[in-house]
Amino acid sequence: MSAVDRLALPPGAGYAPSPLVPRLLIGLGLVLTAIFIVTPLVVIFAQAFARGVDVYFANILAPDTLHAIYLTMLVAVIVVPINITFGVAAAWAITKFSFRGKKLLLTLIEIPFSISPIVAGVTYLLLYGAQGLLGPWLIGMDIRIMFALPGIVLVTLFVTSPFVVRELVPLMQVQGSEQEEAAVTLGANGWQTFLRVTLPNIRWALLYGAVLCSARAIGEFGAVSVVSGNIRGQTNTLPLQVELLYHDYNAVGAFAAASTLTLIAIVALFAKVAIEYRIERR
Amino acid sequence: MYTQSPAAPVRATPVRAKRVLPGFGLTMGCTMLYLGIIVLLPLAALLLKAGEIGPARFWAIISSPRAVAAFQITFAAAAIATAINAVYGLLMAWILVRYRFPGRRVLDALMDVPFALPTAVAGLALTALYASNGWFGSVLEPGGIRIVYTIFGVALAMAFTSVPFVVRTVQPVLEDLDPQIEQASATLGAYPLTIFRRVVFPVIFPAYLSGCALAFARSLGEFGAVVFIAGNIPFQTEIASLLVFIRLEEFDYPAASAIAAVLLISAFLILLTTNVIQAWGLRYKVRNA
């Protein structure tokens, strides 16, 4: 890295005849980023506090918004551990063994990333909804999945399922399995090998995947809006609550709810930078 | 981005006759079961339901004027968004890799904001900024530039949510590029622009192209950010995802599933194209290594 800077940077090197071009490009990049990415973050807080701190907290503490925060956290708390388990299992199967169809499996795992969230929601509606494939059977059994918590959890699982796998697979491929094989040869069982050998090696990547998974689970809008039914105070997650308040012409309320989500996103970004820093230092 | 993992030594360990490590049955079983229930079963439901409609009716739905208009708006806005990111993303990748300046780490972290920020929040914020009484809208609209409730608003929302794709695919390739090659061309008398066009660009081109393809795919499917800023006027700013949503609310499930199936197939085609581009780029790399 640092060798690259020294070679590419200095103006006397011939490649960059004047420092003007880099300065111009950096300036342009900074200005565009400020307009394009930073101002949207700033405007959320500016609007949320537009009528003062009291109004802000009154809006955050409104029962429906509080319930939306609770529901969103509940969904994340259910979804993230499940996807961590799936991610670890899939990464173990993919990187520790050779089998046919591995590329196909990797492609299948990444499908949810390339699908529109609305389409994801529709697929679940067509499976579990009243007119869906399993709908009549579910009604007969008196099981409610759509427009209730199970539906929200299921689509969120779908949308966030690739995050952990995709962080683990490249890392575990590079690390190989020699250490695990040594542990097994020395008499460790599978769980011991995983917990004492593999887990310490992959913990930061795992955490990174979990952070990305949580951020998306908390912020998912399109897929959840199809399956939630938007029942106020019942199945409204925080992103849906933002939309609802906005359409109610309660701008401060919408921005207050949005500011909570923005804070979560900023915390997630800090966590990401901190984790990357740890990984780089190793 | 992550799809470059095939370069990693997948087959570095020779295929063993006997598996040393335990857990193949358990982990593979869990993976297949989970994928089957969470990913494949719902997709099968969509394809089955779309298939039940029958080709004639399917065609009638997706070729109806409103659906065609929605597809055109979606594709046009996604194209504009991709063009914006093709320029902005390349610029950001270049300055983040090649220059050292105060605040570079912060700038680098900012590139991930669009992925971390919920799309609905992004849509709300952009609408507030570009509305006629907003910080930017109040300047632009007297100048005759209207963003909110136009296709440019749709494109802007799509561009915002897909920023990281181009930046994050080009960045690693640019980091791997040996500056000595550029210096050699400089010594041979090439101008900076010539060096970029003839030396740097051909190397990053496959990654750049797949980054753009990913950004385009993401833009086609974007919903949360767009619905706030678009105003959702049929034949003007109504995108395909929204039309699916409207048909669902009208309980017109066949129409919703037909349009959703078209979006699904487009996404698959783009994914396939991206994989082909990446395989092409990697083959070049392997041959050179």
Same domain, A66 and A195: yes
Supply φ then ψ for residue B50, to 5 degrees.
Answer: -70, -35
Nearest-angstrom CA–CA distance, A167 and A148: 31
Identify which of A36, A173, A184 has the shortest CB distance to residue B21. Answer: A184
Q: Residue B242: inside a domain, yes or no?
A: yes
Residue B2 lies in a domain: no
Segments forming the whole domain that contains residue B197: 65-288
Residues A139 and A276 in one domain: yes
Q: Which residues of B touch A219 (CB under 8 A)?
A: 116-121
Quote the pLDDT of residue B5: 44
The per-residue pLDDT string of chain A (282 residues; one tens digit each, 9 = 90 and over) reads: 444 444 444 444 444 556 788 899 999 999 999 999 999 999 999 999 999 999 999 999 999 999 999 999 999 999 999 999 999 999 999 999 988 888 889 888 988 988 899 999 999 999 998 888 888 899 888 888 889 999 999 999 999 999 999 889 989 988 888 999 999 999 999 899 999 999 999 998 899 899 999 999 999 999 999 998 777 778 899 999 999 999 999 999 999 999 999 999 999 999 988 888 887 776
The CA distance from B289 to the nearest CA of chain A, in Å, is: 18
pLDDT value for B284:
53
pLDDT number for residue B190: 82
CB-CB under 8 Å, B224 with A239: yes
Distance in angstroms (rounded) separating the CA atoms of residues A268 and A144: 33
Please give the backbone phi and psi of residue A80, each rounded to the nearest 5 degrees, phi first.
-60, -50
The answer as to whether B169 is a domain residue is yes
Q: Per the CB < 8 Å rule, is B223 touching A154?
A: no
Cβ contact B203:B285 at 8 Å: no
Residue B42 forms part of a structural domain:
no
Is-contact A96 A177, C-beta < 8 A? yes
What is the pLDDT at residue A18? 66
Who among A132, A161, A219 is closest to B119 (CB)? A219
> Do residue A98 and residue A152 come from a single domain?
yes
CA–CA distance, B47 with B184 (Å, rounded to integer) = 55
| pLDDT at site B282 | 67
Give the tokens for residue B219.
């833009």
Name every residue whose Cβ is closer than 8 Å to that of residue A34 and which is 6 or more positions away in sequence. Answer: none
Tell me, yes or no, whether A57 and A44 share the same domain.
Answer: no
Domain count for chain A: 2
* Displacement of CA B49 from its chain's centroid (Å): 27
Which distant-in-sequence residues (6+ apart) come within 8 Å of B236 by Cβ? B73, B150, B151
pLDDT at B192: 80
Residues of A in contact with B4 (CB under 8 A): 170
What's residue A280's pLDDT? 78
- A15 and A95 belong to one structural domain: no
Report ipTM for this prediction. 0.87
CATH of the domain at B206: 1.10.3720.10
Task: Name the pTM for this structure.
Answer: 0.88
Q: How far apart are CA A26 and CA B282, in angstroms?
A: 30
Same domain, A76 and A31: no
Residue B220 has which token pair? 């086609």
pLDDT score recorded for residue B3: 43
B37 within a domain of the structure (yes/no): no
Structural domain harbouring A240? 52-281
A280 touches chain B (CB under 8 A): no
Contact list, B222 vs chain A (CB under 8 Å): 116
- What's the pLDDT at A42? 96
Domain end, chosen from A9, A24, A48, is at A48
Render each residue's pLDDT in chain B as its tens digit; 289 residues: 444 444 444 444 555 445 678 889 999 999 999 999 999 999 999 999 999 999 999 999 999 999 999 999 999 999 999 999 999 999 999 999 989 999 899 999 999 999 999 999 999 999 999 999 999 999 999 989 999 999 999 999 999 999 999 999 999 989 888 888 888 888 888 888 888 888 888 888 988 998 999 899 999 999 999 999 998 899 999 999 999 999 998 989 999 999 999 999 998 888 888 878 877 776 655 444 3
A97 and A192 belong to one structural domain: yes
Structure tokens at A154: 């299921």
- According to the model, what pLDDT value does residue A235 have? 87
Same domain, residue pair A175 and A98: yes
Helix axes B119-130, B151-161, angle to 10 degrees: 140
Angle, vertex CA B114, rays to CA B242 and CA A116, nearest 5: 30
Residues A65 and A81 in one domain: yes
Report the domain count for chain B.
1
A30 in the same domain as A80: no
What per-residue confidence (pLDDT) applies to A66?
A: 94
Do A79 and A28 share a structural domain? Answer: no
Say if residue A3 is in the same domain as residue A133: no
- From chain A, pick out residues whose CB is under 8 angstroms from the CB of B279: none
Identify the pLDDT of residue B88: 97
Residue B9 lies in a domain: no
Q: Tell me whether residue B234 is in a domain.
A: yes
**Six-digit token string for A113:** 């990333």
State whether B187 and A114 contact (CB < 8 Å): no
